[in-house]
A and B are shown apart, each in its own frame.
Chain A
Amino acid sequence: MEDEISHENSAHGHNKGSPESPCAKISCNGNNNNNKEQDRFLPIANVGRIMKKVIPSNGKISKDAKETVQECVSEFISFVTGEASDKCQREKRKTINGDDIIWAITTLGFEEYVGPLKLYLSKYREIEGEKLNIPKQQRSEQKQQQQQSKHEQNIPNFNSNVYSPPNLLSRHTSFVPSDQPFSLPFSSNNIQKQLQQQDQVDSVGYW
């Protein structure tokens, strides 16, 4: 479901001039009905932040440089996705998964990215696996507890759940060890739907 769109539109209106003139600077892909630039690129603030990390602190980055890198990143994503998609088609699979992306990245020459990516992905899958191993049995226990106990139990747990994990995503070298008492809220459900809250609570294991 793409109801994330509304958040992103309001939060990260693409700053190439006015968001209302999508074709002003960039000519739009002919078969692209959705002409909003903000959909085609990652937010310039995020891109700029990452760029700043690798230049000296007294260095500056012009806006057009950020925009160019922004476009390059989208091109990179398309490039890699195309390769991965071809592979899936050849292998008669419908879903592009993380391994396909990594394979495509390798094939296209970005081998040096593969090490950190594989590590990252394996950690993610490990956590997902833990989550899947706590399926309905805990869910039903949790639901019982939720009904019996006070509501406020949900909130602090949820908060701490919300604020603790993403070390996993932060530095690629500092992965959260898998002996955490709770599982991280990664889940394909989380990503594709907005029902995260319940899923996260269910998988927490705090109960």
Chain B
Amino acid sequence: MRQAGTYSGILSGGISGKTGPHLLPLARIKKIMKKSGEAVKMISGESPIVFSKACELFIKELTQRSWMVTMQSKRRTLNKEDVASAVMATDLFDFLVNLVSESPLEMDTSKYS
């Protein structure tokens, strides 16, 4: 039986009900994909699934790098500045530089289309 409620976001992709804690909601991923540009119209069913895994890997990498900054400062709480430092220190995260350095953020995603 499908689980409604808290995890319905996870289930919205039609994946069966077990609430693996690392699942990201597929419909939400799809929405974000669609917002990235006018040209994005049709998305295969597997794309959000691939992204679900890719986002998990991305979050983990970003967090690990941020945590290293936290540890250097001898703290145990990872804060936003640590994330910003990790972004600045990593070439791979260049596309995030504007995002972490501005307080009022404008996600100008049109540049990616």
Contact = CB atoms under 8 A, between A and B. Distances in A.
Nearest to A109: B92
The bracket for how many chain B residues form the interface is 35 or more
A58 B70 CA distance: 13
The bracket for how many chain A residues form the interface is 35 or more
A109 B91 contact: yes
- Tell me if B's interface is mostly helix, strand, loop or mixed: helix
B23 A169 contact: yes
Given A40-B35, A166-B16, A186-B49, A69 B59 contact: yes
Contacts of B108: 29
A43 to B, nearest CB: 6
Given A78-B35, A78-B37, 17 more contacts: A5-B27, A50-B21, A54-B64, A61-B77, A64-B79, A68-B80, A72-B93, A72-B99, A76-B54, A78-B36, A85-B37, A101-B54, A117-B53, A170-B22, A186-B49, A193-B14, A197-B2
Minimum-distance CB pairs A-B, first 6: A190-B14, A82-B112, A188-B45, A4-B12, A7-B8, A78-B36
Interface of A: 2, 4-5, 7-8, 10-12, 25-27, 29, 31-32, 39-43, 46-47, 49-51, 53-55, 58-62, 64-65, 67-69, 71-83, 85-86, 88-89, 94-98, 100-102, 105, 108-110, 113, 116-117, 120-121, 124-125, 128, 155, 158-159, 161-166, 169-170, 172, 184-194, 196-197, 199-200
